[in-house]
Amino acid sequence: MTETIINLDTINPIEFFGVNNKKLDLLKRKFPLLKILSRGTQIKLSGAPEQIESAKEKIELVIQYLERNGDLSENYFEQILGGDDAETIDNFVDRNPNDILVFGPNGKTVRARTANQKRMVQAVERNDIVFAVGPAGTGKTYTAVALAVRALKNKQVKKIILTRPAVEAGESLGFLPGDLKEKIDPYLRPLYDALDDMIPADKLGYYMSTRTIEIAPLAYMRGRTLDNAFIILDEAQNANDLQLKMFLTRIGANAKAIITGDPTQVDLPKNQRSGLEKATRILANIDGIAHIELDEEDVVRHRLVKAIIRAYEKEHHNENPTSNYLVKKA
C-alpha cells in the first residue's frame, strides 16, 4: 500500500469537497478500494498504486476546472469523475480560452460542455440553419442562446429573435391570469433564464426595450422577413408542419437560425402532428443546413435526468420496436 497527498492550495477547498462533503463522498464511491481522507487543504490517498494514479488524474482535472471556472456543480463533478476518454476530459477542462462562447455577469463563463454541444457550435459556424434535436437537459436551448449572444456581441448580427410555439402542456392558456403578454411569458421563461446567465440585467433590459433582443411566440413571426438576425426556434416539436415551413421561410439576408426540439415531448393536440420530424427528414441533404442529434450523454442537469431519459427511451422502444427517430449528424 502506498500513500499520496494532493494539495488544494490554488482553489477553494469547499468547492472541491462540496456542502457536507457531498462531492468528497462521490469521489469515495468512484474509488471504493482507496482510503480517501481530507485534511484542511489536502487530500490523502492510500491504496494500490494504480488506483491512486487513476484517482489523482481525476482530482487534478477537477482542480484544473476549478482554477479556470471557480465553481463546480455536483453534476459536473460526477461527470468528470466518470469520463475515461480524452474527449470527455477536454469537454470539462477547456484548455483553449477560445472555447468560451460568452462571458456572463460576475465573470461567469459559458461554453459548450459536451462533445455534441461542441459539434453544435461548429455546425452553426459552418451553416446558416441548424437543427439540434435531443432530450431534455442536453443544453440545446442554452447553447443556442449563447451562440446568439456571442454573434450579437461580435456584431455579426444586429438582433436576436427567440421564439417558441405557445402550446399548452396540459394547462389551459385561457385560464391563466393577466393580459396576453403575462399569459405567454411562462412559455418563454426558459429563454429569459438563459439570457439572464449571459447578459447583465441593465444591458438586457436595454436590449429588450430597443428590440435588439426580441422574445415572441411563433405565431408572431408570420409575414416577417428576418434580416441581420440570429433566430432561435425553441421547442420546435410543438410546431406543426405549416408553422415550421412558415418559420424557415422567414429567414432573410445575413441571418442564422437554430431549431431545437425534443420529439419525445410533443404537446400538440392529438389531431395535430409535429412538423419537426418531417422538416429534419426532407431538409437532410440541403447544403447550408446541418443536423445535430444530442443524447443522454449530453445531459448537464441533475445526474438522475440521464437515468430517467434512458428509462423512458427503453420503455418507448419496448412499446414501439419499429420506431427509429434519427437525424443526420453534421
pLDDT tens sequence across 48-61: 988 999 899 889 88
- Enter the C-alpha cell of residue 235: 421547442
Pairwise CA distance, residues 104 & 186, whole Å: 23
- Contact partners, residue 268, CB within 8 Å, separation at least 6: 167, 238, 240, 274
Cell numbers 433566430: residue: 231
Average pLDDT score over the chain: 83
Listed in sequence order, the DSSP H helices in 40-179 are 49-69, 74-82, 86-92, 115-126, 140-153
CATH H-level superfamily of 99-319: P-loop containing nucleotide triphosphate hydrolases (3.40.50.300)
Mean pLDDT of 40-46: 89
Architecture of domain 2-92: 2-Layer Sandwich (3.30)
Selected residue with higher pLDDT from 206 and 173: 206
Which residues of the chain form CATH 3.40.50.300? Answer: 99-319
pTM for this model (two decimals): 0.67
pLDDT tens sequence across 300-321: 666 676 677 678 777 766 776 6
The values of phi and psi at residue 103, to 5°, are: -95, 115
Which residues of the chain form CATH 3.30.1370.10? Answer: 2-92
Q: Which of 136, 193, 130 is nearest to 169 (CA)?
A: 136
β-pair partners for 3: 46
Q: What is the DSSP string of 139-192?
A: SHHHHHHHHHHHHHHTTS-SEEEEEE----SSS-GGGSSSSHHHHHHHHHHHHH
Selected residue with higher pLDDT from 40 and 122: 122
pLDDT tens sequence across 91-100: 555 555 567 7
Q: What is the pLDDT of residue 330?
A: 44
Pairwise CA distance, residues 309 & 290, whole Å: 24
